[in-house]
Amino acid sequence: MADGNEKAIACNIGFIGAGNMAWAIGEGLVKTGAVSSTQIIVSAPTDNNLGRWRQLGSKTSFENGDVIKNSDVIILATKPNKLDEALNDAIRTLPPNEVHSKVFVSILAGVKVDGVHSKVNAVVPKSRVVRVVPNTPVAVGAGASIYCRGPTATTEDLNLVKKIFSCGGICEEVPENLMDSAGALCGCGPAFIYIMIEALADGAVKMGVPRAMATKFAAQTVKGASMMVLETGKHPGLLKDEVCSPGGTTITGVHAMERLGVRSALMDAIEAAAKRSIELGNKY
């Protein structure tokens, strides 16, 4: 009989690292009802970021071994240059030879899955790794995440990871050699869009619209336009044509926008972010 408390994801989820991306994932999981906050345990070197997790109802710890022992899936959410330190702490705090066969999800920017697999298996034998590039809108159930599999990841592992990152958003597998590029789009993309929303609002404010209204309408307009692309399946160029009546207000605005090479700037942004991801990947 269905229990009102049954959640879509039954297992325990741990986070090593409690920064913004970890928080967005945790928040999204709890807010969309996919897990109960008590299924989550989070560790970090200091208490700085842990308070909000406790407020959510999750357990927190200063020991990474704690998280690994008590979780079925462990999300590695440290900065790339902190992974070794975090795994050393796990060695120190895990009961020796007792813990093995866990699923690890690495969200470390740019770090290859095979590398994480080796490092993790030195601490927790027989573990499987999946690498994910998520994005912060998972927090509102509208994420765009991509993943690739480690050498021993099973189909169940992939399905679980897909479930975790899909609640309300999309989550798709890509070959690892596309993680830097697709990740630049999905992972970094939101920042580029926040800038665009602020700029659209600034334009409206310049023309007399109060700030709060300008920001709200800018964000709503951006939302609606994106949904038109997603739901109609029409080419964005065609959708643009359909808004641009001859001699009208829209085509006039389009011309002003094209003049400064916005398209080029956005391509630059994706390219630069992707290249930085490759750089980071080569460092660790």
Residue ranges of the annotated binding site for NADP(+) are 16-21, 77-80
52-81: contacts with a second copy (CB under 8 A) = 79
Considering the complex, what minimum distance in angstroms separates the CB of residue 37 from a second copy?
A: 18
**Residue 222 Cβ vs a second copy, minimum distance, rounded to whole Å:** 4
Minimum Å gap between C-beta 152 and a second copy is: 26
Residue choice 221, 246, 282, 284 for contact with a second copy (CB under 8 A): 221
Q: Site residues for a second copy, window 118-137 (CB under 8 A)? A: 135-137
- Kindly identify the residues of this chain, within the stretch 190-209, that bind a second copy according to CB under 8 A: 190-204, 206-209
Among 214, 246, 282, 284, binds a second copy (CB under 8 A): 214
- Report residue 117 as tokens: 């697999």
Q: Does 226 bind a second copy (CB under 8 A)?
A: yes
CA pair distance 165, 157, nearest whole angstrom: 12
Candidate residues 152, 271, 282, 284; the one interacting with a second copy per rule CB under 8 A:
271
CA-to-CA dists, residue 148 to 7, 128, 131, 151, 165, angstroms:
25, 12, 5, 10, 13
The alpha carbon of 258 is separated from its chain's Cα centroid by a whole number of angstroms, namely 31
How would DSSP label each residue in 22-43?
HHHHHHHHHHTTSS-GGGEEEE
Q: Give the range of 96-104, 118-126, 149-157, 171-179 binding a second copy by CB under 8 A.
A: 171-179
Among positions 235-254, residues that touch a second copy (CB under 8 A) are 236-237, 239-240, 242-245, 248-254
Binding positions for a second copy, 28-57, rule CB under 8 A = none
User: What are the binding residues?
Assistant: 16-21, 64, 77-80
CB nearer a second copy, residue 126 or residue 259: 259
From the list 42-50, 114-122, 158-166, 213-221, the region that binds a second copy by CB under 8 A is 213-221
Contacts with a second copy: how many residues (CB under 8 A)? 110
Helix (H) or strand (E) holding 105: strand 103-106
CA-wise closest residue to 75 among 36, 46, 116: 116
Q: Which residues make Cβ contacts (< 8 Å) with residue 262, sequence separation at least 6?
A: none
The CB density around residue 180, as the number of other CB atoms within 10 Å, is 21
Going by C-alpha positions, the residue among 70, 205, 176 that lies closest to residue 115 is 176
How many Å apart are CA 233 and CA 120, to the nearest integer? 41
Q: Does 99 bind a second copy (CB under 8 A)?
A: no
- Closest distance of CB 168 from a second copy, Å: 9
DSSP of 201-245, one letter per residue? HHHHHHTT--HHHHHHHHHHHHHHHHHHHHHH---HHHHHHHH--
Residue 132: name the closest of 81, 55, 190, 75 by CA: 75
Whose Cβ is closer to a second copy: residue 24's or residue 124's? 24
Asked if 274 interacts with a second copy (CB under 8 A), we say yes
